[in-house]
Copies of this chain bind each other. A is one copy, B any other.
Amino acid sequence: LARKVTKRKNVISFTNAFHGMTGVSLGLTGNSYHRQNVQDNNVTRMPYDGYMENLDTIAYLRKFLQDKSSGVDDPAAIIVETIQGEGGVNVASAHWIRELSQLAKLHGALLIIDDVQAGCGRTGDFFSFEFSDISPDMVCLSKSISGYGLPFSLLLIAPSHDKWDPAEDNGTFRGNNLAFISGAAAIKYFWSDSSFSSSIRLKEKIIIRAAEQMRDMFPQVIKSVRGRGLFYGIEFWNPETAKEVSAKCFEKKLIVETCGSDDQVIKLFPALNIPDNLLNRGMSILNDAVQTQHNFTSN
């Protein structure tokens, strides 16, 4: 039976997603500590790439969207991080992102890439999704977008979806002029040619080599190494180890945070223009801290 058309309200978000700490977007966040009181009737939670062994997460989502009795309404949008930072540096494959994008198109849902952590060159390209060759409907940008540490966030909207009147979503600090200037300068300075991108990829090699070496040396301590660009995670078998390693590094003036649902992952997130020797030194401090933990555990 044909039913009256109703406005779509449902947004699909993923396990271990993190979309910030403000009111409405908090409902999208997976982590129960951060999200604590907020549950949103417009959010349907779906499994992220690799969430469960032997689960084809795209097939799962497809099934729910196709089945009119699945209990999941046609979504207005699907919001996703290509790499889940707070969620534990979970890395979606280019294939998965592509299939997700196709699924969104097929079911008339907007695809929103939350590129707050993974964007602005973090993965080597300016946008984290470039490697998957998709064209999202909206992109969230923030953090280093001002090029100078100034408060500045952007929501890119595909022109065909932009229904806002000029100045409709206003606010006292909605246009931080200084950040407009510095942001434009930064894009011009860093992204006029591919040299910055290349340098990021070279630095990534330093991280990979050091991190994989650690993993191979301490397989009882380190469970896995994963990431893209200058955005890597080292997952420990034991969350306590991650905590101790982070503390040990801090003593040596290296800041590496833990993330993941049990804080079991150490996140490597250096400045994109970090000099190679400094990056090497950081990896060396990290290696020493892991070694110490390994020795401690072995005894």
What mask results when residues 56 to 95 of chain A are scored 1 for a CB within 8 Å of chain B, else 0? Answer: 1001100110011111110000000000000110000000
Which residues from B are CB-within-8-Å of A275? none
Q: Are B151 and A70 touching (Cβ within 8 A)?
A: no
Q: Please give the number of chain A residues whose Cβ is less than 8 angstroms from any Cβ of chain B in the complex.
A: 67
- Give the distance to chain B from A141, nearest Cβ to Cβ, in Å: 12
- Assess whether A54 is interfacial by the CB under 8 Å rule: yes
| A13 pairs with B71, CB closer than 8 A | yes
**Are B1 and A69 neighbours in the complex by a CB distance under 8 Å?**
no
- Check B20 against A23 for contact (C-beta < 8 Å): no
Q: Are A261 and B55 in contact (CB under 8 A)?
A: no
Q: Is A142 in contact with chain B by the CB < 8 A criterion?
A: yes
**Complex interface residues of chain A between 2 and 20 (CB less than 8 A to chain B):** 3, 6-7, 9-10, 13-17, 20
**Residues in chain B near residue A17, CB distance under 8 A:** 71
Which residue on B lies nearest to A176, using beta carbons? B151
Q: How far is the CB of A155 from chain B (nearest CB, A)?
A: 13
Q: Does A45 contact B (CB under 8 A)?
A: yes
**In the complex the two chains form, is A71's CB within 8 Å of B54's CB?**
no
Residue from B22, B37, B43, B68 within 8 A of A6 (CB atoms): B37
Asked if A25 is at the interface of the complex by the 8 Å CB criterion, the answer is yes
Chain B interface: which of A167-175, A187-195, A213-221?
A167-175
- Which A positions have Cβ atoms within 8 angstroms of B? 1, 3, 6-7, 9-10, 13-17, 20-25, 29-33, 35-37, 39-45, 47, 51-52, 54-56, 59-60, 63-64, 67-73, 87-88, 116, 142-143, 151-153, 165, 169-173, 176, 260-262
